[in-house]
Amino acid sequence: MNQLSKLFQDMAFPDPSPFDQALSARAGVQKEESYSVATSNSGTGKAATGSQPSLQSCGVRLGKAPAAISLPDMNCSIKQQVSLSGFTSYRVGGPAEWFVMPRTVDDLRASVAWARDEGLSVMMLGAGSNLLVSDRGLPGLIICTRYLRYTHFDDHSGQVTVAAGEPMPRLAQQAAERGWQGLEWAIGIPGTAGGAVVMNAGAHTSCTADILTQTQVLTADGSLKILLPADLDYRYRTSALQGDISRLVTQSTFQLKPGAAPATVIATTRAHQERRHATQPYHLPSCGSVFRNPEPHTAGWLIQETGLKGYQIGDAQVSELHANFIVNCGNATAHDVFQLICYIQEQVEQRWQIRLEPEVKLLGQFYSGSHDQ
Q: Where are the domains of the chain?
A: 3-31+149-278, 55-144, 282-363
Computed over every residue of the chain, the mean pLDDT equals 85
| More confident position, 336 or 9 | 336
Whether 73 and 104 have beta carbons less than 8 Å apart is answered as no
Question: What does the pLDDT read at residue 66?
Answer: 55
Rg (CA), the chain: 20
Q: How far is CA 83 from the centre of its chain?
A: 17
What span, in angstroms and rounded, lies between the C-alpha atoms of 183 and 174? 10
55-144: CATH topology is 3.30.43
Which residue(s) pair with 326 in the sheet? 318
Q: How confident is the model at residue 75 (pLDDT cuts 50, 70, 90)?
A: confident
Question: What does the pLDDT read at residue 23?
Answer: 33
Active site (catalytic) residues: 237, 289, 359
What span, in angstroms and rounded, lies between the C-alpha atoms of 141 and 60? 11
Question: What does the pLDDT read at residue 13?
Answer: 34
Question: What does the pLDDT read at residue 60?
Answer: 43
Helices (H), the chain: 3-7, 16-25, 105-118, 168-178, 193-199, 262-279, 299-305, 334-352
Tens-place pLDDT, residues 19-36 = 333 333 333 333 333 333
Question: What does the pLDDT read at residue 77?
Answer: 95
Tens-place pLDDT, residues 97-114 = 999 999 999 999 999 999
* CATH code given to domain 3-31+149-278: 3.30.465.10
Q: Answer whether residue 16 shows pLDDT above 60.
A: no
Question: What does the pLDDT read at residue 1?
Answer: 47
Residue 62, amino acid: L
Tens-place pLDDT, residues 161-182 = 999 999 999 999 999 999 999 9
Q: Mean pLDDT throughout 225-238?
A: 95
Residue 39, amino acid: T
In degrees, rounded to 5, the angle at the alpha carbon of residue 229 between the alpha carbons of residues 223 and 230 is 100
Considering the domain delimited by 282-363, tell me its CATH architecture. Alpha-Beta Complex (3.90)
| DSSP, res 188 | G
| More confident position, 14 or 256 | 256
pTM of the model: 0.80
